[in-house]
Amino acid sequence: MIKKLFTTAMILSLGSSTLFAQLPVEVTGIVKKKRVTPVKLFKVVEGKAVEIANTTPDEKGGKFGFLFYPEYEGLYVIGTGNPMSPNDNYKFYFKRGDKLSVSILDSSYVLNGKLNSKENVVMTQWHDFVNPLEQKAINFMKVNSTFVDFFPQLEEISAKTKGFLAGKTTGNARFDKNMPQYMSWDMAGYASNFLNTPRSAHPSVEEYSSFYATLKAQDFAKNTAGVYSQPWGSRTLSGVISVNRRQQNIKFTGGLDDLNNDLNYLPNDTLKGDVVLDVAARYKNFEDYKTLMNTHGKYVITASQKKRNIDIASPLALLKAGDDAMAFSYPDKEGKAVTMASLKGKVVLVDVWATWCGPCKAEIPHLKKLEEEMKGTDVEIISLSTDDPKDKAKWLKMIKDENLGGTQLFAGGPGNDFSKYYKVNTIPRFLVFDKAGKIVSVDSPRPSNPELKKLLEKTLSAK
């Protein structure tokens, strides 16, 4: 029975001995909807819901289950919707060893039995408390509502939220501390989503109920962690910004002016970077992307943002001659950062290699010879190591032992940004850029081929 029920069992990095030492979360449930669809489990990653498992309920009874080791203690989502929206998705709080038994209904859910954690009992009590708002604000395709009936209910429920947690302490200090924040985010989500979704009648700003005067984007953007802990944190923050702009009569004009207006509501560069990347993800051509990054690329600062940036840019970049080079920055053997911008005025040859790569090492004598022949010219030879970070000492030793010349940079692993951007799947790979930082070739001849020297000389002489 257990084997059949848990069709999506043992997920989330089971190779980790740390996780094996933990107790898993066990979810059992029944889908009681008119149309039975797959049930999904989502984790929260930087303010967004990310699917980590799904299962098809049993045909006869609609039963489903998940058994997983939680990556963190906090909010997760279970439902039949998609990750972009809270429609048909429900938030739960999980820590290791928790059990959840739930029935998913057409527009809501109920807990089953008495084995559910105290945290999820409170989460469900809160869900039931605000469910009238959720139905009108989130399930707007099923529930016809206008501001005439929504605003009074919003004010009534908002007034009662202050006393909601009385007598509901769970004994989990972390949860008890965070629950007021969860409530605040939900209320903001309902209020903003109501105004930002299609209705048969829309209020003027003057008709907004008093709750909206308390809704400030700056309050929700005080710290990144608060936004990132919510499955629809980014969506809700964006919705509140949209409401605030209407309250302040800031027109929606499109383009970078609109983006600048949104960024003014955000107090830190990390959240600004997320918004910039959300805009970039909607672009269909590289020129628009380039214009955006020239002005706002400075906000793309975290490792995950940089990865997402590459994922967005790579399909847009045609990587043809004349296109701008990627604006990389990598440390040299002394740890000093070398950027593409710092190389302007030089013809740049980039050698993508690794210490373990036999064909790469075979090119070293030819590369040294080419370096000697190009001495005194404006050619800069960059050797970009894709060795794993754990092998950095090996890289430094080889530079010394082999007396490697040029500028030696460490990219930090085969999955580095440069390799992703230029789609470097095999090494060695040689790329040539002109003095203006434009692409000449992203797959040039190797140093052992005389054509590379000819290409460099031609690029040097170009005006």
For 19-65, write each residue's pLDDT tens digit. 445 799 999 999 999 888 899 999 999 999 999 999 999 988 899 99
Q: Please give the pLDDT value at position 70.
A: 95
3-class DSSP state of 393:
helix
Q: What is the pLDDT of residue 54?
A: 96
φ/ψ bin of 437: left (φ > 0), alpha (ψ from -120 to 50), beta (otherwise):
left
Instruction: For domain 329-461, give the fold.
Output: Glutaredoxin (3.40.30)
Residue 394's SS3 state is helix
Q: Is 319 helix (H, G, I), strand (E, B) or coil?
A: coil
pLDDT in tens, 219-262: 999 999 999 999 999 999 999 999 999 999 998 887 888 899 99
| Residues found in the chain | 463
Classified as helix, coil or strand, 423 is coil
**Which segments in the chain show pLDDT lower than 50?**
1-5, 7-20
Distance of CA 73 to the CA centre of its chain: 19
pTM of the model: 0.73
Specify the CATH number of the domain 1-116.
2.60.40.1120
Burial class (CB in 10 A: 0-12, 13-18, 19+), 461: exposed
pLDDT at residue 13 in the model: 35
pLDDT at 21: 52
pLDDT at site 242 = 95
Alpha-carbon distance 372 to 68, whole Å?
Answer: 59
- C-alpha 21/C-alpha 314 separation (Å) is 40
**Res 415: pLDDT:** 84
Residue of 422, 425, 444, 431 whose CA lies nearest to 326: 422
**Token code pair at residue 426:** 């095999």
